[in-house]
């Protein structure tokens, strides 16, 4: 370990004004202990509070602090992307800016990385989040693992240390829908995870409400999996098989002369049932077409308004 090693820390900031000062102090202290040259990149995701003012004052005080101000609220994972693209450390740490990811744990992550890993992920030992949130997160990761065919672990989020090679690969990914953990999985490299402490929220409330969280979940599933489309096809095949069997049965009864005038109920039921399935499948395809449309537009993934 020596001063030539540069470690960047990418911090997406949204409504974190109360923690920034302390976060910065503690990060600089950790970097000093590691004897590394730090680069703290605070990415202000159009936070409605005073975060940007505080970042500016931190940057004025400490030469190691840099700030990016996004032109609007793009979302945590877009803020991370912006930070990664502007980082130039040999190692890059990505963490939340609300002090729930404990800065001192970087030491552990870095030491582990030096044993020959490109990626060291932080596994939150005891997640200090509400019961409901942990449930939701568990189901979400289960569903995502099933749909995307890769294993996601709810105790691992964005917090981790990443080698420059990994960061370069992620920055080069062209997709418009950014979800950091998926991109980390996709690029590969030699990776491991270690247990770290997770803190409870000291002030303020989560930037995510249920609507935002559900939207993010849907966005991620659509962006990183085409399994819903395949499930739709399977459903279609199943329907064809079932209705063929039904048709044969009816035909036999008709030939035998069993049918006089009935069928109102079955007719009506099948119309509604089939229409329901049709609309559902159309909806699923529609969602994907929407994603394609988004990518075809080729808009930038984020816009930096100001840099200090």
Residues making contact with ligand UDP (CB under 6 A): 12-14, 16, 45, 73, 75-76, 79, 96-98, 100, 206-208
Give the range of 63-71, 97-105, 183-191, 212-220 binding Mg ion by CB under 5 A: 97-105
Under the binding rule (CB under 5 A), the answer on residue 225 touching Mg ion is no
In the complex, minimum distance from the CB of residue 8 to ligand UDP, in angstroms, rounded to a whole number: 16
Cβ closest to Mg ion, residue 6 vs residue 198:
198
Backbone angles phi, psi at 69, to 5 degrees: -115, 110
Under the binding rule (CB under 5 A), the answer on residue 98 touching Mg ion is yes
In the complex, minimum distance from the CB of residue 142 to ligand UDP, in angstroms, rounded to a whole number: 18
Give the range of 19-27, 89-97, 186-194, 261-269 binding Mg ion by CB under 5 A: 89-97
Under the binding rule (CB under 5 A), the answer on residue 100 touching Mg ion is yes
Partner touching 118 among Mg ion, ligand UDP, none, CB below 5 to 8 Å by kind: none
Give me the residues paired with residue 41 across strands.
10, 66
In the complex, minimum distance from the CB of residue 47 to ligand UDP, in angstroms, rounded to a whole number: 7
238-270 burial, b at 16+ Cβ within 10 Å, e below that, comes to eeeeeeeeeeeeeeeeeeeeeeeeeeeeeeeee
Cα 57 to Cα 77: distance, rounded to the nearest angstrom: 25
In the complex, minimum distance from the CB of residue 12 to ligand UDP, in angstroms, rounded to a whole number: 3
Cβ closest to ligand UDP, residue 65 vs residue 281:
65
Partner touching 38 among Mg ion, ligand UDP, none, CB below 5 to 8 Å by kind: none
Partner touching 207 among Mg ion, ligand UDP, none, CB below 5 to 8 Å by kind: ligand UDP
Partner touching 9 among Mg ion, ligand UDP, none, CB below 5 to 8 Å by kind: none
Partner touching 14 among Mg ion, ligand UDP, none, CB below 5 to 8 Å by kind: ligand UDP
Cα 78 to Cα 81: distance, rounded to the nearest angstrom: 5
Under the binding rule (CB under 5 A), the answer on residue 17 touching Mg ion is no
The gap between the terminal CA atoms of the chain, to the nearest Å, is 28
Contacting positions for Mg ion (CB under 5 A): 96, 98, 100
């Amino acid at each position: 370990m020596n001063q030539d090693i540069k470690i960047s820390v990418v911090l997406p900031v949204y409504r974190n004004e109360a923690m920034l000062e302390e976060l910065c102090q503690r990060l600089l202290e950790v970097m000093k202990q590691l004897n590394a040259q730090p680069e703290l990149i605070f990415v202000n995701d159009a936070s409605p509070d005073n975060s940007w003012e505080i970042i500016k004052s931190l940057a004025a005080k400490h030469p190691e602090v840099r700030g990016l101000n996004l032109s609007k609220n793009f979302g945590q994972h877009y803020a991370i992307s912006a930070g990664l693209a502007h980082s130039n450390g040999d190692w890059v740490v990505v963490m939340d800016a609300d002090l729930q990811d404990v800065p001192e744990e970087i030491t552990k992550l870095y030491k582990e990385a030096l044993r020959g890993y490109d990626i060291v992920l932080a596994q939150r030992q005891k997640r200090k989040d509400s019961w409901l949130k942990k449930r939701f997160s568990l189901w979400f990761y289960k569903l995502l693992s099933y749909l995307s065919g890769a294993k996601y672990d709810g105790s691992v989020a964005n917090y981790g240390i990443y080698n420059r090679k990994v960061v370069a690969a992620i920055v080069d990914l062209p997709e418009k829908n950014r979800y950091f953990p998926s991109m980390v999985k996709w690029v590969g490299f030699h990776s491991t995870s270690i247990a770290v402490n997770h803190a409870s929220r000291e002030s303020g409330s989560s930037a995510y409400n249920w609507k935002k969280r559900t939207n993010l979940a849907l966005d991620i599933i659509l962006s990183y999996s085409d399994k819903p489309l395949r499930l739709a096809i399977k459903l279609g095949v199943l329907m064809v098989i079932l209705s063929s069997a039904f048709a044969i049965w009816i035909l036999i009864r008709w030939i035998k002369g069993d049918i006089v005038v009935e069928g109102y109920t079955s007719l009506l039921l099948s119309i509604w049932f089939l229409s329901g399935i049709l609309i559902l499948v159309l909806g699923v395809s529609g969602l994907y077409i929407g994603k394609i449309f988004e990518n075809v537009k080729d808009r930038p993934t984020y816009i930096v308004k100001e840099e200090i």
